[in-house]
Amino acid sequence: MRTSRSRGLPLSALYVVGLLLIPVGNIGSASTVFPSLVPGLGPSAPGPTSAPVCSGSALCPAMIADAYELTPLLAGRSTNGTGQTVVIIVACGDSTLVADLSTFDRAFGLADPTLTVYEPQGTPCYAPTSWGLETALDVEWAHVVAPGASIAVVVARSQRPASMYDAWNFSLASHLGSVLSNSWGTLGSCSRDAETLLATAVAQRVTVLAASGDNGPGRPWLATAPADCTATLTVGGTSLTVNATGAYQNETPWTGSGGGFVPGSREPNYQRYANISDPYAALGKPDVAAVGDPASGVWVYDNASGGWVVAAGTSLACPLWAGFLTDVNGWRAVRGLAPLGPLQPFLYQRIYGANGASPLYAVTFHDVTAGAGGIVLGRGWDISTGLGSLRGEPLARVLVGAPGA
């Protein structure tokens, strides 16, 4: 594995409060961010020297690839993220990340990627059983979905929002990659500083993703960050059912998936056209979804957690989408097209259409319509899973064939 560690110069702190709708993790104060992660659930995990056993409640890479129709993409050099970099923002980091990823790759027959860890603010905090596991999950599963891509991990020094947004600043100023994944959140509304950074991302055609949080949609007017910013692609969580080989059976809303309408926001034109949030006339989140329920979690190798564990949360859904969009950007680059950049207008207007009537919608998304745990869903966008989960290759073909996407 080609790896390196880089310490950049600290950038000016961005004192932001953040935004969203559901608190992510067990948030104790608005001055701290937490990983959107549900570890330690699912079947009893074997020890660190044991091989993971694939099942419907402990999913392996091939099963995720099959369920989300990613297998054809991952088999091709031009469609598996080669030449691209997925950027992952975390706090504290994982001191054994290189070894953890290598162990994960050997177990599942994956080639080690080029991995670079940046610590631009200096020596980071130490939280191996929370942020360490979060980092391992993000990196390993972004790598599963974009096996040809390089991975850049930008580690914030602390769990303060200012440090996290400083990591955004470093990534954008250094032009590390065109997909930026965030599996964390904090209380508060979208600040001017966050919007400024997101405007820079839009100008650079960088897609910024954020997990919608793991406390469910029961408090739909509570703002958290950064998933409630208009310019972030917010990812919710589902409960995924597959057969023994990983073939897709169905999805229901995961009861922990954050979602709702953003307080004090204006409904963007593309959501007004899609008619998703009437009568609130406010920004609705999440935008999309993927598996997040720990009852249908995935194997992660993390030394600090004892080796092989099953974990999930919207922390899983977010890097899955980040890896997929990295694949699409690689395919677009082969065709001489720019990276996707801000994706929401295209998803809502062209793929979803007014009231979900576009013929592309059923071809490119799994619309999660069945309810669970007291959540009742209907056809189309909803406050738990957004537009739904990806149908990988069909969606990629649409995004690659649309220069304006």
Q: Which residues is 292 bridged to in the sheet?
A: none
Rounded Cα–Cα distance for residues 94 and 131 (Å): 7
In a domain, 256, yes or no: yes
Do residues 188 and 224 touch, judged by C-beta distance below 8 A? yes
pLDDT of residue 6: 39
What are the Cα distances from residue 107, in Å, to 54, 131, 158, 159, 235?
11, 23, 32, 32, 28
Q: What is the 3-state secondary structure (H, E, C) of 77-116?
A: CCCCCCCCEEEEEEECCCCCHHHHHHHHHHHHCCCCCCEE
Helix (H, G, I), strand (E, B) or coil at 33: coil
pLDDT of residue 235: 97
Do residues 220 and 42 touch, judged by C-beta distance below 8 A? no
Chain mean position to CA 399: 18
Q: Describe the chain by its helix, strand, coil percentages, rounded to 5.
A: 30, 20, 45
Do residues 275 and 354 touch, judged by C-beta distance below 8 A? yes
Domain that holds residue 192: 3-400
In a domain, 356, yes or no: yes
Of 347, 349, 376, 377, which is closest to residue 364 (Cα–Cα)? 347
pLDDT of residue 245: 84
Rounded Cα–Cα distance for residues 91 and 157 (Å): 6
In a domain, 85, yes or no: yes
pLDDT of residue 169: 97
pLDDT of residue 19: 21
Domain count, the chain: 1
Do residues 182 and 318 touch, judged by C-beta distance below 8 A? yes
In a domain, 405, yes or no: no
pLDDT of residue 220: 52
pLDDT of residue 8: 33
What are the Cα distances from residue 188, in Å, to 34, 180, 185, 371, 395?
13, 21, 9, 29, 33
In a domain, 163, yes or no: yes
In a domain, 255, yes or no: yes
pLDDT of residue 10: 23
In a domain, 93, yes or no: yes
Residue type at position 145: V
In a domain, 30, yes or no: yes
pLDDT of residue 129: 85
Residue 207 is classified by DSSP as E
Name the pairing type of β-strands 150-156 and 85-91: parallel
User: Prior bond to 279 cis, omega within 30?
Assistant: yes
| Beta strands in 85-232, from DSSP E residues, in sequence order | 85-91, 115-118, 150-156, 179-182, 184-187, 207-211, 224-225
DSSP output for 321-382: HHHHHHHHHHHHHHTTPPP----HHHIIIIII-GGG--HHHHHHEE-----BTTB---SS-B
Residue 179 is classified by DSSP as E
pLDDT of residue 22: 28
Q: What is the pLDDT along the chain (405 residues), one digit of tens a residue?
A: 434 443 332 222 111 112 222 222 322 233 467 676 544 333 334 444 477 999 999 999 999 999 999 999 999 999 999 999 999 999 999 999 999 999 999 999 999 999 999 999 999 999 998 999 999 999 999 999 999 999 999 999 999 889 999 999 999 999 999 999 999 988 778 888 889 999 999 999 999 999 998 877 655 556 778 999 999 999 999 999 999 889 999 999 998 898 888 888 899 999 999 999 877 899 999 999 999 999 999 999 999 999 999 999 999 999 999 999 999 999 999 999 999 999 999 999 999 999 999 999 999 999 998 776 556 677 899 988 999 999 999 999 999 988 777
Name the pairing type of β-strands 260-261 and 284-285: antiparallel
What are the Cα distances from residue 93, in Å, to 13, 32, 38, 125, 227?
19, 16, 17, 8, 21
Which residues are within 8 A (CB) of 265 and not within 5 positions of it... i.e. 6 or more apart? 190, 228, 230, 282, 283
pLDDT of residue 376: 60
Rounded Cα–Cα distance for residues 372 and 369 (Å): 10
Question: In CATH, what number is assigned to the domain containing residue 8?
Answer: 3.40.50.200
pLDDT tens sequence across 143-180: 999 999 999 999 999 998 899 999 999 999 999 999 99
The pTM for the full model equals 0.90
b (16+ CB within 10 A) / e for 67-97: bbbbeebbeeebbbbbebbbbbbbbbbbbbb
